[in-house]
């Protein structure tokens, strides 16, 4: 029996391009291949938007050594063909080579991928894919929209003000006044669409605020400023599943009050020097987190319950990670943000919850197939006499 072909798509025009490569190669392709259940086809979207597919793209050395530039110079990009599913077309020689894709595993982070754009392509191709659909991805990747969605579902979230680059350019002073009037320092300034904590700044005064907004708007056309939470405990909850979400452990990044769970802490070897109680482990979040979070049982369960509410409110499926902020004195749990494709799938947490890397990726593929099968039951066309009148 032929094994189904899974295309793992990664890279893309995103500030998190490099993180995506690591997620795809180490946390998706490797365990998928080891499962021996699938043919695995890597699909790399370069920073300039060209798509490439070649077995060589499974090797991290190609990227870490910089040989990827030479590879792209010599290789022809692939084209996509829709119709009966998705096909990758590689032109060459006398005739084109076509690869039929049965399932897609998007391993992209940030823009032009995780934000729903890629999911739109995949839904057009009517191919099963892992993770959230277009709408959920778009909402999840827009911090403003996801907060509004939470508020609409009576889920607490820190007070915030949002604006576009255009708004800020037009009404700089009055916008800063409004922020200072509505919110209290310390404040967090964030680009609306970026993940991995890129462009996020903690500010204590108006001067820092103005600079931080400029940084955030350098990365994004929309930004938000939100109030910090007192007596802060940050937690994050990885979830997989469609209609019946399955939870890993609630995880507690070991950051301090004046700090936050930023890009360095999450991904860079050694993390932030001297901060966050960093020990000897250098595996990003895994080395700087408590798993499970050290919380009283009722607060732990409350946070997990809110994470599931958010997952459902946003309409997530497949996989996501919900970040929350807890005021340890009041016991209030605030929704912070949602990440529809957690870096490295947060496999370190799933491992501790008893799910191996192989079981995690194969389960995600199964969930994609289930979701797709369910969707096929929905009628998307129907016959009318409408055109006959013309």
Partner 1 sequence: MRLLGFFMPKMPVSLVYMLQSVEYDPWGFVSWLKELPNLRRIMYRRTLHFTKKAKALVLFTYTIWSALLLVAVLLAVVDNYVFAAAIVLLSPLVCVIALFIAVLIARVFITGPREKKLIAASEKKFAVHPAIKIAVAGSYGKTTMKELLATVLAEGKQVAATPGNLNVPISHARWLNRLEGNEEVLIIEYGEGAPGDVARFAHTTHPNIGVITGLAPAHLDRYPSLHAAGDDIFSLADYLGDSNTYVNGDSVAAQDFIKSEQNVYTEKGIGDWNIQDVQVGYEGIKFVMQRGDDILELHSELLGRHQIGPLAAVASIALKVGLTRDQVEAGIAKTKPFEHRLQPRPLNGAWILDDTYNGNIDGIRAGLALLKELPANRKVYVTPGLVDQGVETGPVHREMGRLIAAANPDQVVLMQNSAASLIRAGLEEAGYQGGVLVEADPLQFYTNLEHFVAAGDLVLMQNDWTDNYR
Q: Which residues in this chain contact partner 1 in the complex, by CB under 8 A?
A: 30-31, 34, 36, 350-359
* Closest distance to partner 1 from the beta carbon of 34 (Å): 5
**199 contacts 215 by C-beta, under 8 angstroms:** yes
* Closest distance to partner 1 from the beta carbon of 96 (Å): 31
Residue 193: φ, ψ to 5°: -110, -10
**C-alpha radius of gyration, the chain, whole number:** 22
* Closest distance to partner 1 from the beta carbon of 219 (Å): 34
d(CA 223, CA 229): 19
Q: Which of 150, 140, 79, 148 is nearest to 110 (CA)?
A: 140
* Shorter beta-carbon distance to partner 1: residue 176 or 358: 358
* Closest distance to partner 1 from the beta carbon of 11 (Å): 22
* Shorter beta-carbon distance to partner 1: residue 150 or 247: 247
> Which helix (DSSP H) or strand (DSSP E) does residue 271 occupy?
none
Residue 20: φ, ψ to 5°: -60, -40
* Shorter beta-carbon distance to partner 1: residue 33 or 167: 33
* Closest distance to partner 1 from the beta carbon of 350 (Å): 7
CA angle (374, 380, 383) in 5-degree steps:
140
Tell me the residue ranges of DSSP E strands in 28-178: 39-45, 51-53, 78-83, 85-90, 97-101, 103-106, 160-164
* Shorter beta-carbon distance to partner 1: residue 34 or 215: 34
* Shorter beta-carbon distance to partner 1: residue 13 or 30: 30
* Shorter beta-carbon distance to partner 1: residue 189 or 361: 361
d(CA 23, CA 105): 11
Q: Supply the DSSP symbol for 23.
A: I
* Closest distance to partner 1 from the beta carbon of 248 (Å): 10
* Closest distance to partner 1 from the beta carbon of 349 (Å): 10
* Shorter beta-carbon distance to partner 1: residue 136 or 355: 355
Secondary structure (DSSP) of 328-378: TTTTEEEEEEEESS-GGGGHHHHHHTT--HHHHHHHHHHHHHHHHHHHHTS
């Amino acid at each position: 029996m032929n094994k189904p072909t899974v295309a793992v798509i990664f890279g893309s025009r995103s500030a998190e391009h490099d993180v995506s490569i690591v997620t795809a190669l180490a946390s998706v392709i490797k365990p998928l291949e080891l499962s021996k259940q699938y043919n695995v086809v890597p699909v790399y979207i370069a920073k300039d938007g060209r798509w490439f597919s070649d077995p060589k793209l499974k090797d991290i050395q190609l990227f870490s050594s910089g040989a990827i530039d030479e590879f792209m110079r010599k290789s022809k990009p692939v084209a996509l063909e829709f119709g009966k599913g998705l096909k990758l077309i590689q032109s060459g020689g006398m005739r084109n080579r076509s690869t039929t894709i049965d399932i897609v595993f998007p391993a992209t982070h940030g823009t032009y991928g995780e934000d729903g754009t890629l999911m739109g392509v995949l839904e057009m191709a009517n191919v099963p894919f892992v993770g959230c659909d277009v709408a959920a991805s778009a909402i999840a990747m827009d911090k403003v929209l996801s907060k509004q969605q939470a508020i609409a579902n009576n889920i607490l979230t820190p007070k915030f003000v949002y604006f576009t680059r255009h708004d800020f350019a037009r009404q700089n002073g009055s916008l800063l006044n409004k922020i200072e009037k509505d919110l209290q320092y310390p404040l967090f300034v964030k680009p609306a669409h970026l993940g991995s904590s890129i462009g996020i700044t903690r500010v204590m005064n108006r001067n820092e605020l103005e600079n931080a907004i400029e940084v955030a708007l350098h990365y994004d056309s929309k930004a938000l400023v939100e109030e910090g939470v007192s007596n802060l405990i940050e937690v994050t909850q990885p979830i997989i599943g469609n209609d019946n979400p399955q939870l890993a452990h609630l995880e507690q990044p070991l950051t301090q009050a004046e700090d936050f769970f930023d890009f360095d802490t999450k991904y860079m070897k050694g993390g932030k020097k001297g901060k966050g109680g960093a020990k000897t482990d250098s595996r990003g979040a895994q080395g700087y987190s408590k798993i499970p979070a050290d919380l009283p049982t009722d607060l732990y369960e409350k946070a997990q319950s809110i994470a599931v509410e958010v997952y459902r409110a946003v309409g997530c499926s497949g996989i996501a990670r919900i970040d929350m902020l807890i005021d340890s004195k009041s016991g209030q749990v605030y929704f912070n943000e949602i990440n529809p494709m957690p870096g490295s799938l947060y496999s370190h947490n799933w491992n501790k919850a008893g799910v191996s890397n192989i079981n995690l990726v194969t389960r995600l593929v199964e969930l994609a197939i289930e979701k797709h099968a369910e969707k096929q039951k929905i009628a998307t066309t129907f016959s009318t006499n409408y055109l006959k009148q013309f």
